[in-house]
Structure 1
Amino acid sequence: MGMFERLFSGHHGKRSHHDSGYRNDDHHRGYRDDRVPQQPPAQVNQIPCPSCGTANVPGARYCHQCGGGMVAAQCAKCSATLAPGARFCGGCGQPKS
């Protein structure tokens, strides 16, 4: 079959490269797609900010994102540690003061 016949004949009754026994998701296996961003390596020893949850380096006294103190906030009523960004205590329901 000539080049033009292959180009213009369509796939009527003929197998395409997708029908050659490979699953559709297998024919690109082994090739790296540089268009997909790679995940950054996991940050080890990072401390989340108690106010906004941003990872900070160990020993930081203030968050580099929001400027909040790195000491976890506590509930004024029951002294439970408040989750980052919490508006109410998860233990007793008291609004954050």
Structure 2
Amino acid sequence: MGHGRQAMSKLLASKQPINAVICSIDLLAQGVMAEAQANGLRVPQDIAVMGFGDLEFAAHTYPRLSTVNVDGGRIGLRTAELLLQRIEGSLGRREHVEDVGFRVVPREST
């Protein structure tokens, strides 16, 4: 959260017009919202904020944080399966890309 506040502080100090901030994890987004609000900005009226991960607290921030939901359990399980296949030699050495999907969770911060 502190890194999100620091990053938002730098963005605001740049005096560049900002309409939205998209973060790589919900915790950064929470910090961005806190810093924006501490500087008198209204979320989402003055600036929209989007997180990633749909962490449990995202639905309970003020305003509630819009985010991207990914199935972390599925990613972890599939990663373990692929790792075991590579160790056993049945996967080979080629690059493996797998789409596990995502879901945008629109809430009040956007």
TM-score range, shorter chain: under 0.3
Task: From the CA coordinates, give the structure whose radius of gyration is larger.
Answer: 1
TM-score where L is the length of structure 1: 0.21
Kindly indicate whether structure 1 or structure 2 has the higher relative contact order, using CA contacts under 8 Å at least 6 residues apart: 2
- The structure whose residues are more often helix, as a share, is 2
**Higher strand proportion (structure 1 or 2):** 2
TM-score, length basis structure 2: 0.19
